[in-house]
Structure 1
Amino acid sequence: MLQKDRSGQVLTGASALAAEKYQQALDAYYCYAGDPMGCLQAATEDSPGFLMAHVLSAYLSLIGTNAEAAAAGVAAFEAAAALPGSERELGHVEALRRLLAGEIAGAARTLEAVTITEPRDVLALQVGQVLDFLLGDSRMLRDRIGRALPHWSRSMPEHHAVLGMLAFGLEETGHYDRAEDAGLEALSLERRNGWAQHAVAHVFEMQDRRAEGVAFMRADIDAWTRESFFQVHNWWHLALFHLGQGEAHEALKLFDGPIFQARSDMALDLVDAASMLWRLQLHGVDVGDRWAPVADIYEAKAMGGAYAFDDAHAMMAFVGAGRTEAQAELLQAQARAVGDNVGMVRDVGLPVLRALQAFGSGDYARVLENLRPVRNIAARFGGSHAQRDLIDLTMIEAASRGGDQALHAALLAERQAAQPLARRRFHQAA
């Protein structure tokens, strides 16, 4: 008997038991919580020819993880590529093929085609939005989801996932009120939706509503932390709110606890650890020897040249820990970029890496020389507005330390104009 998922998508090669396990994996992935890989292992053990179980395993293993997981992701892709499937399912296989070739934009467009035809394929929507995030494509973060909305209603079980994605897309395109509403509605349907939680946190961050952000994050910590593989990023948001209120001790406490206590080598977690320490130092906080273990993990990964946005955070760690040899090796690794990362390195990544290195050596004029041409196009190397704000914060501090008072005052003024509730430290400085 032909099996289908809850949204009505055909599941080629699945038994009834395997389809059930796959649905459990999907539900976990939609919330970024639980054990989707365990469910998928059970599904493929029962039905080795279950194409979409291999596909989801590959997605989970290849994006934002570590070398070991990525190797498992390649194996999952190879298993999927050898199997027959529907046009929709083969679209997922093609997206994985392009992703492995470094064609992030191509993979995103492939999934765009899937969801234009199959707007209730939540997996294609979710992975597609993650790829839009890697590309820094704010419009597609919104419009990929907006196109599917007419096919969804509140009564459908996966609607919370669609609303959570919509919230993030609206936030990244500046529709903050609508983003907050969509995110809160998603959480009302599924309190454990970590993506919706993070979307609302982004709204508070961009509007500088720090106290509200702290209250929101602390209101139901269990919901977004229990069994969550996205919790580090949400803890990072809470630390950011505290830092913005001048509570550096709280940010440090969170860094030493849930942000870096486990010393995860997952790419997404390392980005949060490095960016939090860099922000603390820009705020004049002595972080002690906290840089060393972050730099140790980045050195052990030795994956420079794979994705410019991650490499920028590796450079922060190497600069913070004083690892000059690692800095030089990371810069050399940019020549190994392939696929879309070639353009990311050329347009933004390499200037940002050079600027961060210059900041560490006290050459603040070179920091500004590298960052001023790229800050307005920094989305080209991925991330969110909140994450890329580190470029502006570094420029402000470089202008101050380098004695360029006119530029320093101008940068503070533009920040105040853009955010009337400007971040406390810079507002006081002005």
Structure 2
Amino acid sequence: MMHEDRYGNAFTTSSDEAADAYREGVDLLLASWQGTAEAFERAIDVDPDFALAHIARARVHSFYQQGDLARKKAAIARELVARRGSMRERSHVETLALAVEGRLPEAIAATLKHIETWPRDAVVLSLPLGAFGLFAFSGMADHDRARQDLCDSVARHYDEDWWFLTTHGWTLTENGNVSRGRAITERGFALRRENAHGAHTVLHAMFEDGSIEEADRFVEQWIPAYDRSGLLYSHLRWHQALVALEKDDAPRALAIYADVLHPSITKAAPLNMVTDIASLLWRLTAYGHTVPKRLWSEADAVAQGLFPNSSLPFVDVHMALFAAASDDPKALQTRLAAVEQRLADGKLPAGPVVPAICRALAAFAEEDYAACVRLLAPVLGEVVRIGGSHAQRELIEDTYIVALMRSGELPRARAVLDARLHRRPSLRDRRWQAAMG
């Protein structure tokens, strides 16, 4: 029996109830809202042969580092869609399966081909667009531009769709068109406020245009409607901790850490959990605030268990933060060796920027600020290759600026700050300027 999703894409299921649960699950998935997995599970329970529900559930498993479960669901979806699925459904399942399996180049190629024919397949379109999406983790130096270009190319197909507007606005913001990006993002968010993805994109726009007080109020007013189990709950509070640091309020940042980010408390997906913890604690330390060693050691133990081997460059860099801050040269050397082997084998699309950053972070932790500057200066323009958002990657530039100041290279530090303040208003950068006279 054929049904349609909210975007007019036909899909096959024998049950009206399963179709309703799947449509609900897709909206919850796109909104990063609680209940996503449960909706897809309901669809599967009612119709065990529903291929698209299985591959959607695989996608959610992959968010939570449940690789075995994700791959099993993907295999089931492939088998089912081959028996009873349209061309779009088969392409949809295969594209998501490639992404779930971590086959990035193949998944990107399949996504772009799929979108040419079915531009309103929002679930597939979402794959390359996030800070942790296929484009961001591809090693591309121009993934900010690639995301915007892709959204621009399909915008006419989406009109005033709440998910697409918030996503399109975010791609504009990340690509430097902040005022237009914020306007489009807020237009989409107004259409559906039960949308953690949309709240996240609004916060990025506020970060980029310097509206930190507004960002703080926004989180305080909106977050009570979002369950702590939600995919982005802890990450949204991480953004609030960055606001606290902008205002030089380390106690508040640490209070937010204790409330929602500490590994014994957080319900975040592993990738967000590890990277948010490492980057926040590192920022606190780099900005001159005291971070109890136990916070590093507690988080490091969890992070090592989740990501024991070399993985994504974005992960490698944050694991280097743990090793450097924990004074664990063996862990850092093991991580570096794995990264450099992947580089030598041609399996590190992000390139030599990854080991360079890891070495620079180690030098900073050892208070060899001149070495940190020497290592980072040639690769600052390539940091974008590790993926993530601009707000997340700014940690590397912050480390570079502090290293410049502490090594006495004040003219270079002023020049970097002047250029950055031209791009993004920042109370912290102004404090640093004032401290240098």
Using structure 2 for the length normalisation, give the TM-score. Answer: 0.90
On the 8 A contact 1:119/1:151 being kept in 2, the answer is yes
Given the superposition, is the C-alpha separation of residues 376 and 8 from structure 1 closer, same or farther in structure 2, using an over 3 Å criterion?
A: same
Q: Please list the CA deviations of residues 86-142 of structure 1 after superposition, one character each: whole Å capped at 9, or x if unmatched.
A: 222222333245435644243123212222221221111222313233346112322
Contact 1:191 1:223 in 2 (8 A): no
Q: In the TM superposition, what are the counterparts of 1:5-84 in structure 2 within 5 Å?
A: 5-63=5-63, 65-66=64-65, 69-83=66-80, 84=82
Quote the Cα distance in structure 2 between the aligned partners of 1:192 and 1:128. Answer: 23
Other-structure match for 1:271:
275
One-letter amino acid matched to 1:172: E
Distance 2:25 2:346 in 1: 30
Using the TM superposition, give the Cα deviation of residue 204 of structure 1 relative to its aligned residue in structure 2, in angstroms.
1.5
2:43 maps to amino acid: A
| Counterpart residue number, 1:414 | 419
Number of equivalenced pairs: 422
Structure 1 CA distance, aligned partners of 2:386 and 2:145? 15
Which residue pairs with 2:174 in the alignment? 172
Are residues 177 and 414 of structure 1, via their aligned partners in 2, closer, same or farther at CA, if it must alter by over 3 Å? closer
Counterpart amino acid of residue 362 in structure 1: E
Query: Contact (CA 8 Å) 1:141, 1:172: kept in 2 or not?
Result: no
Q: Which residue of 1 aligns with 2:379?
A: 374
The letter of the residue matching 2:156 is: P
Q: 229, 241, 244: which one pairs with 2:243?
A: 241
Change in CA separation of 1:386 and 1:3 when aligned onto 2, cut-off 3 Å = same
CA distance in 2, matches of 1:295, 1:43: 38
Aligned pairs (5 A) from 1:13-412 = 13-63=13-63, 65-66=64-65, 69-83=66-80, 84=82, 85-99=85-99, 102-129=102-129, 130-135=133-138, 137-154=143-160, 159-225=161-227, 227-260=229-262, 262-264=265-267, 266-288=270-292, 289-335=294-340, 337=342, 342-344=348-350, 346-412=351-417
Deviation at residue 175 of structure 1 after TM alignment: 1.5
Partner secondary structure for residue 3 of structure 1: strand
Instruction: Describe the shift of the 1:36–1:72 C-alpha distance in structure 2 as closer, same or farther (beyond 3 A).
Output: same
Per-residue CA deviation, residues 205-245 of structure 1 (Å, 9 max, x unaligned), is 11222112212222222234565211111111111112101
Identity over aligned pairs, percent:
27
Gaps of 5+ in 1: none
Counterpart of 1:74, as a letter, is R
CA distance in 2, matches of 1:217, 1:340: 42
Query: Does structure 2 conserve the Cα–Cα contact (< 8 Å) formed by 1:59 and 1:127?
Result: no
Deviation (angstroms), 1:396: 0.9
* Shift, 1:277, TM fit: 0.7
Cα 1:192/1:86, change in 2 over 3 Å: same
Distance (Å, rounded) in 1 between the aligned partners of 2:102 and 2:427: 38
Change (3 A) 1:174 1:302: closer
Distance between the aligned counterparts of 2:377 and 2:304, measured in 1?
Answer: 29
CA RMSD of aligned residues (A): 2.3
1:210 aligned partner, one-letter code = I
SS state at 2:236 partner: helix
Please give the per-residue CA displacement for 1:69-93, whole angstroms capped at 9, x wherever unaligned: 1211111111122222222222233
> Is this contact kept in 1: 2:216–2:240, CA < 8 A?
yes
Q: Quote how far apart the aligned CAs of 1:422 are.
A: 5.0
> Aligned letter for 2:366?
S
Counterpart CA distance in 2 for 1:331 and 1:127 is 29
State the one-letter code of the partner of 2:60.
L
Residue 249 (structure 1) shift: 1.5
The 10-residue stretch of structure 1 (369-378 or 100-109) with the greater mean CA deviation from structure 2? 100-109
Cα deviation for residue 299 of structure 1 reads 1.3
Counterpart position of 2:433 = 427
Gaps of 5+ in 2: none
Distance 2:426 2:38 in 1: 45
Deviations 1:257-310 (A, max 9, x none): 122252456112211111111111111110112111111111112443210111
Name the aligned partner's letter for residue 107 of structure 1: A
Asked whether the 8 Å contact 1:141–1:168 carries over to 2, the reply is no
1:337-396 residue CA offsets vs partner (Å, 9 max, x unmatched): 49995122x332111111112212222222122211211121112111111111110001
